[in-house]
Each structure stands twice: as structure tokens, then as C-alpha cells.
Amino acid sequence: MLKIPSFILGGILILTGLISYLVQDPSLSIKLTGPWASDAEFVLSDGTQEVMLDFMPCDDSAGENVWWIVHKLNERHAKEINEKNYARKAGRMEGEMESFWYASSSGETLAGLLQESENYSNAGTENYEPIEWPEIDVEKAKLRFIYNNLGGADGPVTLSSTNWENVLNAPENGESLEFGKSWTAFIPGIIGLILILLAIAADKAPNAKKHIMHVAVLIALLGFLSIAKMVFGAFAEMSWWRGEPYLIYEASSLKPTSMLLSAGLLLIYVILCVVSFITARKEMAAQAARDAAKKAAVLKKAAKRKDTPDTDANSKKKEGDSESKEDNKKDAPEKKDAPEKKDAPSDQNSSEQPKKKDSEQPKNESDSETVKSDSSNKEEAPSTEPAKTEATEQKPASDSSSPKEEK
């Protein structure tokens, strides 16, 4: 999701840094580790004109030396050239546009310059009490020169000195320092390039995508905070140049504009990253909920399948029990009748035994055949109906009467 915003915002940052680097005015920054030598002479040159720096020698503070150089260069040289150029643009003065230098500082020295400018601007108001300068840098100070080449000079822009005492990384005597473009103007481009490289790395390594994008948003956040902290100072410095007492209205606005644009782009990138992280977190939670629901559904189906055989077996078992109970109920009367059926043959046997004793020797063959038929009928009695058994029982009775009569 962040790949396209990374390429777009990173590309704009690279373009911003590249334009800022190429379009910026040549500048020169030097650092002092102590006061300048009182007999030193400093000269600015662009091959066409030269300007000698005027400062109040101060053996106790490097910041006071810088303060005087900045104030006098801006008030005398830059202000005068800007007034002439303004008159030329308005048509009130003939001649070509002229190039000029203007200067600034940092830290306590710049705070003192800004306070002095405020005191100067409010000096005519009622009940105004000027505020004292803040403490000026004593052991170290920074001096920055900016060259506006409105005159189109071709020669190199340099700063030369007869004595480089207490100048950090100073050249040897007789040599000069040359103006150039500051690489710090390309800082937004460097940040944009890093963001694009991180987006490509996150796309190539999906497993480490989360960590890479966290690094990207961290870099963007740190870049935003650092640039946002400096952008207010850049606008304050530009307003100070263009306001009283210097009125350098041709002072470049590229630096604060570039910083503001870069800070805005980085803020947008951070916001997009935060929104993307929140959306991804919500999607992960929703996906986890869907997975949990699917898992619960699968487990529920498995439980139903597992319980189904048991219920079938139980139902079958219940049906079997009910059938066996019904069979027992059906068999119950038969079991009661069974003794009666068994008793009938026993009674017959018991009643026949004495009769057989009495009639062990039948008189004729007909009687013996009758006895045989009766015995065969008795053997088949269990499989015949009760009516036949009664008939067979009556026949022996009639046969057994004849021997008794003979006795």
C-alpha cells in the first residue's frame, strides 16, 4: 500500500532537493574558534567588484567580531545595492543590476542580531524599553556569507584575508576561500532517496516488510521534526533580512520554501504510514476473526459427525431393546401355555401306564394293531391339533374296558 506513496513523495523530495541545490545562491560558511586578529583585512571579490569587511576588533569575543561584520555588511553594502536595484526595476534609475553579498550567523550571535533589529524597529514607539542583548558567543561563532549574482559576474567568488587567525580549517596566508553550493540543500533529496530504497527493499523482502516500513516511517518522522524545527528559524532569518534596518528585499526565499515543502511532504508520508498501519492492523484482526469463525465451524461440524454414530447406535440399541421387550411380551403367554401342553401328554402317559399293564397281552391281532395305531397317534399328538389328541385318548379307553370285563 505504501509503495506508490513512497515513490511519489520520495520523487518529489528528490526533485525538491535537486532544485534547491542547483538554484541556490553561492555561499561560504566559516567557523571561528576565537576573536579575529585586529590587524586582519578581509576582502570579498567576484572578479568584478571587491568589498572590504569592516568590523570592530574585539579581543574577548569571537561572537562580537561576527556581529559587527554581519551588521555592517548588511546595513552598508547589501542595503545600498538593494535600494539601487529596486530603483532600476521601478525605472527611476538607469544602469544594470548589481550583485551583492549579505551575511548571517547562528546561535547566540544571531539571537543578538535579531534582538537588535527588533530594538531598532520599535525604538520610536511610546513606553518602549529596549531589551538587552543575550550573551554573545565568546569562544566560538559561525559566519555565513551569501552572494546574489544579479550582475552576472563570471569570476570566482572568494574571501581572502591577510591573517586567518582563529579560523577553523583556514587556508595558508595569501590564499582565499571560494564560495560554492552547499550540499545541505540536497538533504530533502537524500531523505526521499532513502524512502524509495526502503520501499523497494520492503517489496523484495515480504517477510521483513513490516520492520522495513517502520524504519522508513521513523526516518520520515525524524526528518520532519528536524526540518520543522529549522523552518521557523529560516523564515525568521528571511524576515530579518527583508525588514528594518536592512531592507534586503532581494534576499533569497529558497531555503525556507524548500524546508517548508520538505516538512509538508514528510508529514504527509508519516500520516499515510500511520493510516496504513492502522488499516493493516484492522485487517489482521478481521482476518483473525474470520479464521477463528471458520475453525469454530469446522470443529462444530466435526463434533456433529462424531456424535451422529453414537446417536444412531443408541437409537438402534433402544429399538432393539423395545423389540426384545415386545418379543418377550408376545412370548409370555406361550410360556404360560407351555406347561399345560406339556402336562397333557404327561397325564396321558400316566393314565395309559396302568392301562398298558392291564392290557399287556391283547386278545387278538386287531387289538394289537389298535394299540399300535394308538401309540402312533400318541407320538404324533404334539404336532396335531388338540381335537385329535382327545380322539386318541378316547380310543384306548374303549379298548381297555374289554380286558376288565373278561376278568
pLDDT exceeds cutoff 60 at 233: yes
What pLDDT is recorded for position 378?
Answer: 45
pLDDT exceeds cutoff 80 at 131: no
CB atoms within 10 A of CB 89: 11
Res. 1 pLDDT band, cuts 50 70 90? low
The lowest-confidence range among 207-221, 284-298, 314-328, 356-370 is: 356-370
Residue 114 C-alpha cell reads as 535579531
What pLDDT is recorded for position 220?
Answer: 93
What pLDDT is recorded for position 336?
Answer: 43
Residue 144 C-alpha cell reads as 555565513
Q: Kindly write down the DSSP assignment for every residue of 346-360, as one continuous string.
A: HHHHHHHHHHHHHTS
What pLDDT is recorded for position 289?
Answer: 87
Separation of alpha carbons 268 and 33, rounded Å: 41
Between helix 3-23 and helix 254-358 the angle, nearest 10°, is 170
pLDDT exceeds cutoff 50 at 208: yes
Residue 84 C-alpha cell reads as 539601487
* Domain segments of the chain as ranges: 1-24+183-305, 26-180
pLDDT exceeds cutoff 90 at 100: yes
What pLDDT is recorded for position 399?
Answer: 44
Separation of alpha carbons 326 and 331, rounded Å: 8
What pLDDT is recorded for position 316?
Answer: 54
What pLDDT is recorded for position 370?
Answer: 44
The lowest-confidence range among 36-50, 93-107, 149-163, 312-326 is: 312-326
Residue 198 C-alpha cell reads as 526502503
What pLDDT is recorded for position 343?
Answer: 45
What pLDDT is recorded for position 130?
Answer: 62
Mean pLDDT of 49-73: 86
Mean pLDDT of 8-30: 93
DSSP helix, strand, coil percent of the chain (3-state; round to 5): 65, 10, 25
- Please report which residue ranges of 359-385 form alpha helices under DSSP H: 365-379
Angle at 288 between CA 283 and CA 293, to 5 degrees: 125
pLDDT exceeds cutoff 70 at 284: yes
> Pairing between strand 42-45 and 50-52?
antiparallel
Higher pLDDT, 20 or 127: 20
Mean per-residue pLDDT of the chain: 78
The residue type at 302: A
Single out the residue of 52, 77, 57 nearest to residue 67, CA to CA: 57
What pLDDT is recorded for position 311?
Answer: 53
pLDDT exceeds cutoff 90 at 127: no
pLDDT exceeds cutoff 90 at 282: no
Mean pLDDT of 128-142: 74
What pLDDT is recorded for position 82?
Answer: 95
Q: Kindly write down the DSSP assignment for every residue of 150-184, as one continuous string.
A: TT---SPPEEEES--TTBTT---TT-EEEPB--GG
Mean pLDDT of 141-167: 90
Separation of alpha carbons 266 and 253, rounded Å: 20
Single out the residue of 181, 178, 144, 157 nearest to residue 19, CA to CA: 181
Q: Is 78 exposed, middle or buried (0-12, 13-18, 19+ CB in 10 A)?
A: buried
Separation of alpha carbons 287 and 164, rounded Å: 69
341-400 pLDDT per residue, tens: 444 444 444 444 444 444 444 444 444 444 444 444 444 444 444 444 444 444 444 444
242-253 pLDDT per residue, tens: 988 899 999 999
pLDDT exceeds cutoff 70 at 41: yes
Single out the residue of 88, 106, 104 nearest to residue 96, CA to CA: 88
Res. 154 pLDDT band, cuts 50 70 90? confident
3-state secondary structure of 89: helix
Q: Are 159 and 42 in contact (CB under 8 A)?
A: yes
Separation of alpha carbons 350 and 38, rounded Å: 164
